[in-house]
């Protein structure tokens, strides 16, 4: 859950320190214990990949002194203070001075773990936000990322790794908003053509009269208004990748011309007599039932076979629910950078609401929801018109339970044994719930 992040735990009482370090380790948290603040100071700076938990009363540098130091050299590193009984006034004052939270002794292991998890999530979000801002400032736009660890996305990645070094034509099939262009861009970035253009053309967004000149280009004087030569998308993409979105909407006449290009690699600009050789990889995307379209005469079967050497099936978001929360968190970070707003943390209730919705608009709809979340615009209803609060208690309880179990499985890397221990459930019960909620888990040997 907090890959790469760790906890610096400072406590002078060796037994207390060892007990709490062990509790965190058993929960899967990376932690290192220190007997005093002096030994931990060299590790604390603005780039610290983690958080600090520190007892207030220490020999030498106190926890409050350490808080002041952190505020000066690493103001965005969460510091959790551990206070003795009766020090609440001091703890509240420390929080006003920048402490992330405080825990009063004696405390249960669950109290420590909950606070640590929240602080680590906060730190992870801040670090990812900073990295994304740097990438955008450098003009890299964060690269193209395929977010998600569901089996469906794992299959997509495996196919891309296998075919990226080749020039084999690819057809990406999926619903509207499922992320077909993202997959096409990722395929291009993984290929030897990555340093050449990636050119996208939406076949359904242009009228046929404009489509031909967009695809093949034209010479000066080829038609009224053609004042100078213009390169078409096929010629401009030569050496790179041409992405044809909504290819199913291409007219029969243009299908014949595209088929000829795929067969001999030659194009002719409008108004020209000389053929030009082009070398671009064709990646097409389609929605709907292509076989039915072919049977109805709307698409050429020979062109379909040319485009469909390899098919990448991109499932709807509703079929890969384990990816919903990670995708949403990524879009929140991107929106925070884009709108220059702080990235809000995602609470359990919001997670449950995200998993509860069907997302007919797929990834595109989820991205819009993340934008609204960052902008502070409340969600009025689900896509089906149902407010989350309007659902029955049973539905809301089950959805919340699904979210909790899913989070626990992710924290424990799919281990049923570790998840059952964390949730204090019998393994048989947990297996039944995993099956009921269609969650992903791995067997334990």
- Establish if 252 belongs to a structural domain: yes
- Note whether 164 and 299 are same-domain residues: yes
Q: How far apart are the first and last CA of the chain?
A: 22
Burial (Cβ within 10 Å: 0-12, 13-18, ≥19) of residue 24: buried
H or E element: which one contains 211?
A: helix 208-216
CATH number of the domain to which 299 belongs:
3.40.50.300
User: Residue 359 belongs to what domain range?
Assistant: 317-383
pLDDT tens digits in sequence order for the chain, 445 residues long = 556 789 999 999 999 999 999 999 998 899 999 999 999 999 998 889 999 999 988 988 988 899 989 888 888 899 999 887 666 677 677 777 788 888 888 888 888 998 898 889 888 878 877 776 666 555 444 456 788 878 888 899 999 999 999 999 999 999 988 899 999 999 999 999 999 999 999 988 777 778 778 888 888 877 777 778 888 888 889 999 999 999 999 888 888 888 988 888 888 887 778 888 988 999 999 998 899 999 999 999 999 999 999 999 998 888 888 889 888 988 888 888 888 888 787 777 788 888 888 888 999 999 999 999 989 887 655 444 444 444 566 766 776 787 778 777 877 778 888 888 888 888 888 888 888 877 777 666 5
CATH number of the domain to which 117 belongs:
3.40.50.2300
CATH number of the domain to which 364 belongs:
1.10.8.60
Query: Of the residues 137, 159, 175, which one is the last residue of a structural domain?
Result: 137
Going by the DSSP 8-state scheme, the letter that residue 32 receives in this structure is: E
Contact 294, 304 (CB under 8 A): yes
pLDDT for position 172: 95
Within 8 A by CB and 6+ apart from 151, the residues are: 320, 440
- Note whether 344 and 240 are same-domain residues: no
- Establish if 144 belongs to a structural domain: no
Distance of CA 75 to the CA centre of its chain: 27
| Beta pairing partners, 415 | 442
- Establish if 409 belongs to a structural domain: yes
- Establish if 142 belongs to a structural domain: no
Distance CA 152, CA 156 (A): 6
| Beta pairing partners, 174 | 314
Query: Of the residues 137, 170, 193, which one is the last residue of a structural domain?
Result: 137
Query: Of the residues 315, 331, 346, which one is the last residue of a structural domain?
Result: 315
Distance CA 76, CA 47 (A): 9
- Note whether 376 and 405 are same-domain residues: no
pLDDT for position 384: 45
Angle at CA of residue 209, ends 203 and 214, nearest 5°: 55
pLDDT for position 293: 92
- Establish if 338 belongs to a structural domain: yes
- Establish if 216 belongs to a structural domain: yes
- Note whether 240 and 213 are same-domain residues: yes
Contact 16, 411 (CB under 8 A): no
- Note whether 307 and 327 are same-domain residues: no
Is residue 371 classed as helix, strand or coil in its secondary structure?
Answer: helix
Distance CA 425, CA 420 (A): 5
CA-closest candidate to residue 349, choices 325, 367, 323: 325
pLDDT for position 385: 43
- Note whether 99 and 129 are same-domain residues: yes
- Note whether 112 and 172 are same-domain residues: no
- Note whether 219 and 262 are same-domain residues: yes
- Establish if 146 belongs to a structural domain: no
Residue 190 tokens read as 């993984």
CATH number of the domain to which 441 belongs:
1.10.10.60
Q: Give backbone dihedrals phi and psi of 354, rounded to 5 degrees, phi first.
A: -65, -45
- Note whether 185 and 286 are same-domain residues: yes
- Note whether 322 and 182 are same-domain residues: no
Contact 193, 242 (CB under 8 A): no
Please count the structural domains in the chain. Answer: 4
- Note whether 304 and 214 are same-domain residues: yes
- Note whether 368 and 401 are same-domain residues: no
């Amino acid at each position: 859950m907090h890959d790469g992040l760790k906890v610096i735990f400072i406590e002078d009482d060796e037994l207390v320190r060892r007990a709490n370090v062990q509790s965190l380790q058993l929960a899967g948290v990376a932690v290192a214990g220190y007997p005093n603040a002096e030994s931990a100071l060299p590790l604390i700076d603005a780039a610290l990949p983690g958080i600090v938990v520190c007892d207030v009363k220490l020999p030498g540098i106190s926890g409050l002194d350490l808080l002041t130091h952190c505020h000066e050299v690493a103001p965005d590193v969460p510091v959790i203070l551990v206070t003795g009984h009766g020090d609440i006034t001091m703890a509240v004052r420390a929080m006003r001075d920048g402490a992330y939270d405080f825990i009063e002794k004696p405390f249960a292991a669950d109290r420590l773990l909950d606070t640590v998890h929240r602080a680590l999530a906060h730190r992870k979000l801040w670090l990812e936000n900073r990295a994304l801002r740097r990438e955008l400032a450098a003009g890299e736009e964060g690269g193209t990322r395929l977010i998600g660890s569901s089996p469906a996305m794992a299959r997509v990645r495996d196919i891309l790794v296998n075919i990226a070094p080749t020039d084999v034509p690819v057809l990406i099939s999926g619903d509207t908003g499922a992320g077909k262009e993202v997959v096409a861009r990722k395929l291009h970035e993984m290929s030897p053509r990555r340093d050449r253009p990636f050119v996208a053309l939406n076949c359904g967004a242009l009228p046929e009269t404009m489509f031909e000149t967009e695809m093949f280009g034209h010479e000066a004087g080829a038609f009224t208004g053609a004042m100078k030569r213009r390169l078409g998308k096929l010629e401009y993409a030569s050496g790179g990748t041409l992405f044809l979105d909504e290819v199913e909407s291409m007219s029969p006449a243009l299908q014949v011309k595209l088929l000829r290009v795929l067969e001999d690699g030659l194009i002719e600009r409008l108004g020209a007599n000389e053929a030009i050789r082009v070398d671009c990889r064709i990646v097409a995307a389609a929605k709907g039932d292509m076989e039915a379209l072919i049977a109805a005469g709307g698409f050429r079967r020979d062109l379909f076979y040319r485009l469909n050497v390899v098919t990448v099936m991109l499932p709807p978001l509703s079929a890969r629910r384990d990816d919903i929360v990670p995708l949403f968190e990524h879009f929140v970070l991107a929106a925070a950078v884009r709108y220059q707003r702080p990235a809000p943390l995602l609470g359990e209730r919001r997670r449950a609401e995200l998993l509860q919705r069907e997302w007919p608009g797929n990834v595109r709809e989820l991205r819009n929801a993340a934008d609204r979340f960052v902008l502070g615009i409340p969600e009025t209803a689900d896509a089906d018109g149902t407010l989350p609060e309007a659902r029955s208690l049973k539905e809301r309880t089950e959805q919340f339970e699904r979210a909790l179990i899913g989070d626990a499985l992710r924290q424990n890397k799919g281990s049923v044994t570790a998840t059952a221990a964390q949730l204090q459930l019998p393994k048989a019960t947990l297996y039944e719930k995993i099956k009921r909620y269609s969650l992903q888990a791995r067997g334990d040997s």
